[in-house]
Structure 1
């Protein structure tokens, strides 16, 4: 079994055991070749703290850490034993791991073969998933345009790896706006619309829009992009289980922006979501409760035959989360429609809500109380 080196022995940039540890003025230690490349690229902030560095940063040798690494290596040598002193068993030499800058150069080179590009994408995915320093290194290297080009690849493995890397880069809010400026929305929407794409790629594309929509300004930008919301609604209708879930999540993220509610309704989202809700998909209730906040959404739900029956059925048998959103949706459409109120009363909504007043969830109790009031608003006098 290979020896597990302490994490403190690894460079925060390369994630490799440091051979020449040096201390930056920020107090953090890096392997000299890695931090030197960072500085040579024109960066004048600490990769970890993001605090500014002096014009000519000093790299102070960390002799203590270097000694610790050396002693640890001597104390825990490779665990193999030779068969004899005169004829030791040959051991396979470990393959050196490419440096991040080498991987990035492979992606940006037009002469790199496809298998090298795929390998670089996969390794950069691994490195960037949990390390913001790597993500910054990739974005500042100018590699994003190359990654976006690979999103349009006809090779599904390369396309999936490129989408995964974009998703990792979008973990940082600073990158979300930058990725949109680089043209990420168009590439991602094209994947959603592609009939030849794989389900994994389409699901990743929907997840990518969810991630970008965390930044408020991106919600509007995605909403006005041609076919973006329409493509998500199509995936909601025609996709497999994972695709539909990711499409619904993306719509939920986007439709907190008012104009996107109208766009989703206009693209036919309401009937599809009601059918999904009838199948017990909790995420569908969440999106419906959001669309019900718009006049267009409420009117579309009121017109759909069976909508009220489905929502009331969930109040009886749904999960706590589904009940909460079904209550919210019914509350909104009942508050604006006497016809819907009458139908909800016929379905037994009042008695169900009275029972929910004892629910352990404060939100459910509050929503149930509000729905009772709405149902009684149009109650005929006797």
Structure 2
């Protein structure tokens, strides 16, 4: 049985006997029962039905556990390559080349869990023997396999690669960072494309030697090395493990480095990841988080955040406001905020202009500056906020879908501003031109 595939015009008059409007027909058994397209990589299930591998993988990835044709429950998800059928399809393509049919390439054989197990066994062996050149060779092979197809990458990640890589990273870092810098960077690069981290790797990568190595990378490596390291630190701290926050904060120079990265903004990746790391460090419930806030304030982070707020895209703006809001929880942070003329205008400007999250942090920051400051500072903030249109914006905040805590703070700010309204001419802000609804 054959079905029509598609019409193709062949205007090449050099081929004798080829008609310009010939309908190419494709044998039915060459077609995938799911997509009804020519199979490129035919595989046979335990039910005996053959499908194209890509379509079958999507079928299983969507949570299906039956054979699409027979509707039988598939208990063995192995997909056996049907080499005989593939060769027949390729030969048919060659025979119909003059009619516009392109030969399908021979598919690469995907790796199996056993292949991954053997590869990781060798990686662990080279790490134990501190064989950095052997380990690099295995890492390059792993990278090549992962780049060949998404299925390979998933198979590698799902079969324990993170734990093996984290263990290897810790072993080489414990030996000597300077002597093993090449293999350490390759391991970190391999880890980056396996994120998010799994529990085992998270525990191992949080060791003192591993953290020290990543901070060393931030100090001494090129831009690429710095990016890999700061992204790894961001991923590590995202678990909320206070022990890792404490261990990182005790490494000499790490706070200064993070502030420098935020100030200089040498790359978007480094800037955003650095801000996330700072946020995890100061928002932790660990007692040293308050001490870290003071260190960041003393290094001028409040001013650098305000500089970023002048002109930044949404993601960067949200991160800046989140850190700024947290720093306003301490007296020293509020003092730095009071001392900058841009603070209040920038905070008011971001209300209802960026996102709901940015609005919440802006309102919260203004509320903290008024609630916990000296009387003179409170009055000055309230007056400045009124002059740049905060009253109208806060009224709008009460009407949109914000968190109840933010609405409570907005209500309290309105009450605090009200006594000063009669003496001031409020300048309409840009709230009239809002295009977004949060």
Gaps in structure 1 of 5+ consecutive residues: 10-63, 85-90
The residue aligned with 2:305 is: 273
The residue aligned with 1:303 is: 339
Any idea what the Cα deviations from partners look like across 1:104-157, whole Å, max 9, x if unmatched? 5355352736862550462587747973432365169x42335658986666x9
SS of residue matched to 1:248: helix
Larger CA deviation: 167-176 vs 74-83: 74-83
**Alpha carbons 1:249, 1:283 under 8 Å: kept:** yes
Structure 1 or 2, whichever has the larger Rg, is 2
**Alpha carbons 1:191, 1:205 under 8 Å: kept:** yes
1:319 to 352, 355, 360: 355
Normalised TM-score (structure 2): 0.60
For residues 278 and 359 of structure 1, the distance between their equivalents in structure 2, rounded to whole angstroms, comes to 25
The residue aligned with 1:254 is: 281
The residue aligned with 1:73 is: 82
Kindly tell me: are residues 162 and 8 of structure 1, through their superposed partners in 2, closer, same or farther at Cα, counting changes over 3 Å? farther
The residue aligned with 2:54 is: none
The residue aligned with 2:428 is: none
Larger CA deviation: 144-153 vs 348-357: 144-153
State the 1:188 CA deviation. Answer: 1.1
State the 1:216 CA deviation. Answer: 2.4
For residues 282 and 324 of structure 1, the distance between their equivalents in structure 2, rounded to whole angstroms, comes to 10
For residues 226 and 356 of structure 1, the distance between their equivalents in structure 2, rounded to whole angstroms, comes to 43
For residues 136 and 295 of structure 2, the distance between their equivalents in structure 1, rounded to whole angstroms, comes to 41
Any idea what the Cα deviations from partners look like across 1:331-352, whole Å, max 9, x if unmatched? 1111122323333233332232
Larger CA deviation: 243-252 vs 115-124: 115-124
Larger CA deviation: 278-287 vs 106-115: 106-115
Kindly tell me: are residues 190 and 176 of structure 1, through their superposed partners in 2, closer, same or farther at Cα, counting changes over 3 Å? same
Kindly tell me: are residues 69 and 301 of structure 1, through their superposed partners in 2, closer, same or farther at Cα, counting changes over 3 Å? closer
Q: How does 1:28-107 map to 2 (within 5 A)?
A: 65=76, 73=82, 76-78=85-87, 79-81=89-91, 99-102=116-119, 105=122, 107=126
For residues 298 and 207 of structure 2, the distance between their equivalents in structure 1, rounded to whole angstroms, comes to 27
**Alpha carbons 2:348, 2:388 under 8 Å: kept:** yes
For residues 138 and 8 of structure 1, the distance between their equivalents in structure 2, rounded to whole angstroms, comes to 33
2:169 to 144, 167, 170: 144
**Alpha carbons 1:289, 1:328 under 8 Å: kept:** yes
SS of residue matched to 2:384: helix
For residues 366 and 284 of structure 1, the distance between their equivalents in structure 2, rounded to whole angstroms, comes to 23
Any idea what the Cα deviations from partners look like across 1:186-237, whole Å, max 9, x if unmatched? 111112222x512x43233222222222222212221222112221111111
The residue aligned with 1:122 is: 143
State the 1:163 CA deviation. Answer: 3.9
**Alpha carbons 1:150, 1:159 under 8 Å: kept:** no
**Alpha carbons 1:151, 1:159 under 8 Å: kept:** no
The residue aligned with 1:242 is: 269
State the 1:170 CA deviation. Answer: 6.8
SS of residue matched to 2:407: helix
**1:227 corresponds to 2:253:** yes
**1:203 corresponds to 2:203:** no
**Alpha carbons 2:163, 2:201 under 8 Å: kept:** no
Kindly tell me: are residues 151 and 349 of structure 1, through their superposed partners in 2, closer, same or farther at Cα, counting changes over 3 Å? farther
**Alpha carbons 2:397, 2:407 under 8 Å: kept:** yes
For residues 162 and 139 of structure 2, the distance between their equivalents in structure 1, rounded to whole angstroms, comes to 21
For residues 118 and 377 of structure 1, the distance between their equivalents in structure 2, rounded to whole angstroms, comes to 67
State the 1:278 CA deviation. Answer: 1.7
The residue aligned with 1:292 is: 328
Q: Give me the CA root mean square deviation.
A: 4.2
State the 1:76 CA deviation. Answer: 4.2
The residue aligned with 2:198 is: 172
State the 1:158 CA deviation. Answer: 7.3
Larger CA deviation: 122-131 vs 273-282: 122-131
Any idea what the Cα deviations from partners look like across 1:283-307, whole Å, max 9, x if unmatched? 2111111222222222221222311
For residues 118 and 150 of structure 1, the distance between their equivalents in structure 2, rounded to whole angstroms, comes to 19
Kindly tell me: are residues 6 and 127 of structure 1, through their superposed partners in 2, closer, same or farther at Cα, counting changes over 3 Å? farther
The residue aligned with 2:102 is: none
**Alpha carbons 2:351, 2:362 under 8 Å: kept:** yes
For residues 145 and 291 of structure 1, the distance between their equivalents in structure 2, rounded to whole angstroms, comes to 34
Normalised TM-score (structure 1): 0.67
Gaps in structure 2 of 5+ consecutive residues: 1-38, 48-74, 96-104, 147-151, 425-438
2:399 to 358, 367, 372: 358
Any idea what the Cα deviations from partners look like across 1:353-377, whole Å, max 9, x if unmatched? 1232212334553442233245459
